[in-house]
């Protein structure tokens, strides 16, 4: 047994040590072969995950690579590849894609599976009708999965009968494929994520994507060399779906955001801007990073510099694309970077597994890799011309659908950092700070316009979460009257819906089946507003008691002290937490409450 587990450990370490992107097939293959033989479901520190893969093509080799990439994302997975040709049959009922059998699934669509290809000579109208029919067919099948599902959309056919028109005009097969993928992307339920197979083909390269000989041999159309990238992409999408998307991009400064060392070369000595090739590359990288920030990635700086030296380019260099206000947390000192990354995570109220670290210096990267394995370290190339590609292909920030919350996230984390700094400074008047933000809590109507966000927030929250139960859109809508969803806004921004309680009244008790709150609003006393709302609801149902169903997990350790502070008491580890619906009011919250529910 002892040798067995040390063998297992050796291969897990090898898998985690792979530099992606940048690993060579020679390094990947032995690890894939070894992991295939090993049971990862019960490995300490890995989240167990039972995964099914369904496709009409052979998915066995892909399954082996998925196991590796899942491990790199913190999952100890068993990956069960379905039979060749088993996609439709499996979805129709041969395979039960429910939580009893698996925790997640990958559906691999392939252009050879197209059911209603447009006949040559189809009119635009006929072609559109066929797309509709095709999309309806697949969506009704995919919806049969009752677990989080990643769908690899249809890949583009390698041959184009209608030449350049094939992908561009209605009636072409390529156009049909593109149109269906767009329909799938916009119509699939919130428990699925879709991978844009055409973009994946483009990244892998057409020559490496298709291996016609392999398809004839064993019905796998992709070349073996394409498998790591396919698995990497599918797993990134699943990580996003399971609430494990990373949130923060931590950037080094010297030779990462500009060329040279600002402390040595001086403000005018650094290379940044359109004058030189490298200067242009650094500016281009900053532009990409700024766009990431615009869609919800939080930016932090971690630099070995004196702070005023590090901030000077942001303030005074005309070539800087990033501005100080884009950075939620700015750390410049001479501490080691592992400590500083811990500090950044604490300041932003996030786990280390939310961080992505970008640094041109291989020594710093290697230090962070070994000290903080939870942090994703991007393997940066030497030439800044390739920085954007390296970060983009790391796929660190999977996005299922852009939400209003994503757009405002940067600002809310800047407030969190300010909040942390204010509470760290002695003598700051926290009450005055909070009320100065002029917060307003909107108790939202639970209906079609809010249900997506409610389902998503319950699924994605880890820390402030009573237990692991999640709810479907239908369940939320059915109990809408007893679901409390609170949106927070203040003078700086609108945070969207950030707190939810799902309750069930009965027998004089308002049972809280789950209660979640986004970590973005920790410290804002929104929990007091929720309690106040729950107490009002309880009384309107004639309940005298409020009961929270709390199951301790690795991540929700912050809850018991908060519940206690809110006046809840529990008689033991697995006993529910209860408090009276009457009694004294909780602590002040300084919020204006606006009830937007239908009366």
Partner 1 sequence: MSELTRGEVQGILQDIFRTVFGNDSLVLTDTTTAADIPGWDSLQQIKIILACEKRLNVRLRARDINGLGNVGEMTSHLFAAVNKSSRKSDRGT
Q: Which residues here bind partner 1, judged by CB under 8 A? A: 25, 29-30, 33-34, 37, 58, 60-61, 213-214, 216-218, 224
CA 334-338-339 angle, to 5 degrees, is: 65
DSSP H or E segment with residue 79: strand 75-81
**Separation CA 421–CA 428 (nearest Å):** 9
CB of 30 to partner 1, least distance (A): 5
- Strand 577-580 and strand 355-358: pairing? unpaired
Q: Which is nearer to partner 1, 37 or 491 (CB)?
A: 37
CB of 38 to partner 1, least distance (A): 9
Q: In DSSP terms, which residues pair with 75 in a beta bridge?
A: 47
Q: Which is nearer to partner 1, 209 or 413 (CB)?
A: 209
Q: Are 298 and 265 in contact (CB under 8 A)?
A: no
Asked if the peptide bond before residue 527 counts as cis, ω within 30 degrees of 0, the response is no
Q: Which is nearer to partner 1, 208 or 389 (CB)?
A: 208
Identify the residue whose tokens are 């996030």.
350
CB of 85 to partner 1, least distance (A): 15
DSSP H or E segment with residue 280: helix 277-294
Q: How far is CA 429 from the centre of its chain?
A: 35
Q: Which is nearer to partner 1, 37 or 159 (CB)?
A: 37
CB of 86 to partner 1, least distance (A): 15
CB of 223 to partner 1, least distance (A): 9
Q: Which is nearer to partner 1, 34 or 549 (CB)?
A: 34
Helical spans, DSSP H, in 243-379: 262-265, 277-294, 307-316, 337-348, 362-371
Q: Which is nearer to partner 1, 81 or 355 (CB)?
A: 81
**Separation CA 392–CA 375 (nearest Å):** 17
CB of 152 to partner 1, least distance (A): 20
**Separation CA 420–CA 425 (nearest Å):** 9
Q: Which is nearer to partner 1, 40 or 441 (CB)?
A: 40
Q: Are 76 and 67 in contact (CB under 8 A)?
A: no
CB of 1 to partner 1, least distance (A): 17
CB of 224 to partner 1, least distance (A): 6
Q: Which is nearer to partner 1, 214 or 480 (CB)?
A: 214
Q: What is the DSSP string of 472-505?
A: -HHHHHHTGGGEEEEEEE-SS-EEEEEEEEEEEE
- Cβ-proximal residues to 245 (8 Å cutoff; 6+ apart), any chain: 239, 397, 398, 399
Three-state SS for 140-163 is HHHCCCCCCEEEECCCCCCCCCCH
CB of 61 to partner 1, least distance (A): 7
Q: In DSSP terms, which residues pair with 301 in a beta bridge?
A: 251, 330
CB of 105 to partner 1, least distance (A): 21
Q: Which is nearer to partner 1, 168 or 218 (CB)?
A: 218
Q: Are 32 and 61 in contact (CB under 8 A)?
A: no
218: how many CB neighbours lie within 10 A of its CB? Answer: 12
**Separation CA 178–CA 181 (nearest Å):** 5
CB of 58 to partner 1, least distance (A): 7
Q: Are 416 and 493 in contact (CB under 8 A)?
A: no
Helix axes 173-187 and 197-204, enclosed angle (nearest 10): 120
Residue 454 is given by DSSP the state: H
3-state secondary structure of 128: helix
Q: Which is nearer to partner 1, 27 or 421 (CB)?
A: 27
CB of 320 to partner 1, least distance (A): 46
Q: Which is nearer to partner 1, 8 or 261 (CB)?
A: 8
Q: Which is nearer to partner 1, 60 or 196 (CB)?
A: 60
């Amino acid at each position: 047994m002892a040798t067995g587990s040390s063998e297992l450990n050796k291969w897990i370490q090898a898998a985690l040590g792979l530099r992606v992107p940048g690993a060579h097939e020679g390094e990947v293959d032995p690890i894939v072969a070894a992991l295939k033989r090993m049971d990862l479901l019960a490995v300490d520190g890995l989240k167990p995950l039972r995964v099914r893969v369904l496709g009409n093509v052979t998915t066995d080799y892909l399954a082996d690579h998925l196991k590796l990439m899942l491990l790199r994302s913190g999952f100890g997975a068993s990956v069960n590849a379905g039979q060749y040709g088993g996609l439709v049959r499996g979805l129709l009922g041969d395979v039960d894609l429910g939580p009893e059998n698996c925790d997640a699934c990958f559906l691999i669509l392939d252009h050879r599976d197209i059911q209603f290809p447009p006949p040559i000579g189809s009119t635009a109208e006929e072609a559109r009708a066929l797309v509709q029919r095709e999309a309806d067919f697949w969506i009704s099948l995919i919806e049969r999965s009752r677990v989080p599902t990643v769908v690899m959309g249809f890949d583009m056919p390698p041959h184009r009968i209608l030449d350049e028109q094939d992908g561009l005009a209605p009636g072409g097969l390529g156009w049909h494929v593109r149109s269906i993928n767009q329909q799938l992307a916009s119509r699939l339920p919130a428990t699925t994520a879709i991978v844009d197979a055409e973009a994946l083909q483009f990244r892998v390269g057409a020559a490496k994507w298709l291996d016609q000989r392999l398809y004839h041999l064993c019905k796998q159309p992709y070349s073996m060399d394409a498998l790591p990238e396919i698995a990497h992409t599918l797993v990134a999408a699943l990580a996003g779906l399971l609430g494990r998307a990373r949130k923060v991009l931590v950037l080094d400064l010297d030779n990462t955001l500009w060329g040279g060392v600002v402390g040595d070369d001086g403000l005018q000595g650094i290379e940044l801007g359109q004058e030189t090739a490298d200067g242009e590359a650094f500016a281009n990288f900053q532009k990409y990073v700024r766009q990431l920030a615009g869609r919800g990635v939080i930016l932090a700086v971690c630099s070995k510099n004196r702070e005023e030296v590090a901030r000077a380019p942001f303030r005074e260099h005309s070539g800087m694309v990033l501005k100080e206000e884009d950075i939620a947390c700015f750390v410049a000192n001479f501490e080691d970077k592992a400590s500083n990354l811990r500090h950044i995570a604490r300041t932003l109220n996030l786990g280390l597994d939310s961080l992505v670290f970008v640094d041109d210096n291989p020594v710093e990267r290697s230090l962070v890799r070994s000290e903080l394995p939870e942090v994703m370290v991007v393997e940066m190339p030497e030439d800044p011309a390739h920085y954007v590609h390296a970060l983009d292909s790391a796929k660190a920030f999977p996005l299922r659908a852009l939400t209003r919350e994503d757009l405002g996230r940067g600002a809310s984390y800047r407030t969190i950092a300010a909040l942390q700094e204010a509470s760290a400074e002695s003598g700051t008047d926290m009450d005055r700070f909070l009320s100065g933000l002029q917060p307003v809590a909107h108790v939202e109507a639970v209906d079609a316009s809010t249900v997506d966000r409610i389902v998503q927030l319950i699924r994605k929250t880890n820390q402030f979460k009573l237990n692991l139960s999640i709810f479907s859109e239908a369940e939320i809508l059915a109990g809408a009257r007893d679901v409390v969803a609170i949106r927070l806004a203040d003078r700086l921004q609108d945070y969207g819906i950030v707190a939810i309680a799902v309750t069930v009244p009965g027998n004089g008790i308002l049972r809280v089946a789950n209660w979640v709150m986004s970590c973005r609003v920790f410290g804002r006393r929104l929990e007091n507003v929720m309690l106040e709302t729950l107490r009002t609801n309880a009384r309107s149902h004639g309940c005298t008691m409020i009961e929270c169903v709390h199951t301790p997990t690795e991540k929700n350790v912050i809850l018991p002290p908060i519940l206690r502070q809110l006046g809840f008491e529990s008689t033991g580890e697995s006993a529910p937490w209860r408090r009276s619906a009457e009694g004294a009011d909780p602590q002040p919250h300084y919020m204006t409450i606006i009830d937007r529910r239908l009366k």
